[in-house]
Structure 1
């Protein structure tokens, strides 16, 4: 036997021994891999959460703003830099009783809007913009009030002020659909619907009084009916809301105000992307629905103590058109009239406020938009107080996903 034969026999024995040993070892089964599956039941962008029958969509936008505003004082900022991020989580499950939906929108802001002249008080914060649950026609949580039309569906303004009801609310509402007709009833947090934290200052026979709000006892109640054919000509809704003014001072009783409004849009299919959208409201003791920034009521300091409600009305709207498939132009404007009761301390508590402006947006690639805006605003108090006017212009760079 040669040395070569001995080495080959030894190698063969090692291979046989290794194979026998491996056969004696337990075999581990590989884990099953779950792949993310597309969910087409609720539109594009949804996918199944692995291991569930719930579909999730993640979307959002990041935008950077740079704008100029004519200063009102030496301490006011002329130029402002602002960045904002919004991210949305939309989870939906089809049940035997309708769609069960959970929606969360977070917003992160960094800006110099609050910065003083020495640059020490800029803001950087994270907030919840919306958070609610929907099941069938029920909505519970922090969401748009059914009263809101203009901001919920339109509101092109980047930086310019605008009027009308445009705050989200803590609410519990129900919406019923009857073909293209629909109706909604909503009970809402009355504290967030207070226009200011105190009532207006009143003077009667040289006696003055300023009241603060007390605790809430009755929620705001909102009712809306509408018709929606926005795939064709447009939509329209009429709305109404009640609001309690409840002073904390003993001797004053609560008083109830209201707001009524109409909103709608009209599409022009003969022109690409052409539309007009308008919302108008009248309020008596419910100034938050006008976004007036002034008191809901004034307290009479003489016995018997009473509240005198403020009144006002507003109209806000815009018109848009696609000049090219990538270039859009929008014109907007709004007008607010605020009428304080006769017991108001200063005649200048009454005022008119209007704003007009325009905007262009250019989509460079899908999801990337650059826009520019310019506007003029004027607040005209009654009496001898001077007008407060301002002009502004700026650009916004957006990435949506």
Structure 2
């Protein structure tokens, strides 16, 4: 053998082929690669219809919502602040006054998205839920024109029997067959931290800590009653277009303790029964004229409470979908638990409706609302209230349903507080909805509302922080008919 190098014949062939095709292989590498097929969305049957697995995860998701248009005539919640809106022009009179300056109707468009995400874990289902959106109002506030607003109904997390976030108060059931929120009875959304224990066969119990601010009405200070009046010119706080103060002096202190809520519940194919109770702290600050360093420097507290009983009875033997709903509430120092709220998200400090005629004479009613009332000596007593409510829904045919509903609420203010006034309020209404296709509702509603008080409409001197007097309107009786038309598509 010489020292000349050599290679097997196959190796030479491989080298030649590599040299020949290497440029073309490089060109092929620059060509786009065909993408892999995306993972198909899979149905998640564990939580009911409409749920799908989020691709690449074990979380099930359902997305839905609704779009709605409402038209309210004579203002659906005519007795509450923020509902008797004046138009964008000038008027010296605000709530509770009504005159030709106020619109006879307003419209609202609202769109809401619903997102429900659930994941099965070793500790049970982990759930997060959101429902909210935005709305457009033809009157965005007293004396204002059209405008948009954000809207939220739910934002909560559930895990292992625990609930954290913003949702229906655990004192309530959230059942309602009417467009209007009835003044009698409790139906409030709130921020809560709760635990629910399931005992089987539809029995459960819940304990909740809920934000007291959403249930706090106030502490009313009153003074010496003076003569009644019949004309707006007799109101020094109305003349000149100031329109204030109509509300009482509010000595509500900052809330220190949340509300404690508990319920017992049983439900099944027959319907539902729930018993509920709540503790609500009433915090009042002493007036400065009684010697406190400055108003708001200290406070005293008492505990109010509320009780509620609810039942929904399903009546399929009359027609499929028929049901009867009943509610009864009692509160002492916790007025919002008995009702008198014009929506699921508000708490009122006054109820009233005072129509003004062409010569300026007044009639109607106006009553401040409070958890407690304070006398000139700084001591305060709880305000009691009780309410009953009934609703019945009937399906004439699967596409047409009607509901009749009504309620009565009585507010008992301690008689030894000068200038305070007890009153009662009741409502009755009827609506009918037509669903020409699935998930589309077209309906109209009429509601009669009346308030009857224990004293004539007139002026009471409320006590100011300095010990002076503030003229405050109180008393009277009034009634009104209002209506609403709703078109809503759920998806």
For the superposition of Structure 1 and Structure 2, which TM-score range results when normalised by the shorter chain? 0.7 to 0.9
CA–CA distance in 1 between the matches of 2:65 and 2:405?
A: 25
CA distance in 2, matches of 1:90, 1:49: 12
Is residue 2:463 matched to residue 1:379?
Answer: no
CA distance in 1, matches of 2:23, 2:225: 107
Residues 219-276 of structure 1 show CA distances to partners (whole Å, capped at 9, x for unaligned) of 11001001111x2x21101100000011233575211100001001111121222110
Greater strand proportion: 1
Please say if 1:174 is aligned against 2:221. no
Is 1:84 matched with 2:104? no
Answering whether residue 301 of structure 2 is matched by residue 254 of structure 1, we say yes
User: Does residue 238 in structure 1 map to residue 275 in structure 2?
Assistant: yes
Gaps of 5+ in 2: 1-19, 79-97, 227-247, 287-291, 293-297, 341-347, 349-368, 458-475
Which residues in structure 2 correspond to 1:323-338 (within 5 Å)? 323-338=396-411
For the 8 Å contact 1:132–1:142, the answer to whether it is kept is: yes
Residue 5 of structure 1 is matched in structure 2 by: none
| 1:193 Cα deviation from its structure 2 partner | 1.3
Q: Secondary structure at the match of 1:346?
A: coil
1:269 and 2:319 aligned: no
Q: What does residue 356 of structure 1 align with?
A: 428
- Deviation, structure 1 residue 67: 2.6
Q: Considering only aligned residues, what root-mean-square deviation do their CA atoms show, in Å?
A: 2.3
Q: Does 1:298 align with 2:373?
A: yes
| Counterpart check, 1:42 vs 2:47 | yes
Matched residue pairs, number? Answer: 370
For 1:392 and 1:297, locate their aligned partners in 2 and report how far apart those are by CA, in whole Å: 31
Conserved 8 A contact 1:253-1:306: no
Q: Deviations over 1:190-226 (max 9, x none)?
A: 111102xx411222799xx944222222211001001
TM-score when normalising by structure 2: 0.71
Q: Distance in 2 between matches of 1:66 and 1:217?
A: 40
Q: Which has the higher contact order (CA 8 A, sep 6+)?
A: 2
Query: Over residues 286-321 of structure 1, what are the superposed CA-to-partner deviations in whole Å (9 max), with x where a residue is unaligned?
Result: 01112234100012321xx32200000111221011
Cα distance between partner residues in 1 of 2:410 and 2:69 = 33
- In structure 2, how many angstroms separate the alpha carbons of the residues matched to 1:328 and 1:19? 78
Q: Which residue of 1 aligns with 2:132?
A: 106
Does the 8 Å contact 1:75/1:116 carry over to 2? Answer: no
Work out whether 1:136 is the aligned partner of 2:160.
Answer: yes
Where does the alignment leave 5 or more consecutive residues of structure 1 unmatched? 1-17
Conserved 8 A contact 2:64-2:115:
yes
Mean Cα displacement is larger for which, 26-35 or 49-58?
Answer: 26-35
Alpha-carbon shift at residue 135 of structure 1 (Å):
0.2
> TM-score of the superposition, structure 1-length normalised?
0.86
* Contact 1:171–1:188, Cα closer than 8 Å, also in 2: yes
Alignment of 1:284 onto 2:332: yes
Q: Is the 8 A contact 1:204 1:343 kept in 2?
A: no
**CA distances 1:70-106 after superposition (whole Å, capped 9, x unpaired):** 7843333211111111211111001111000001111
Contact 2:375 2:418 in 1 (8 A): no
Q: Secondary structure at the match of 1:288?
A: helix
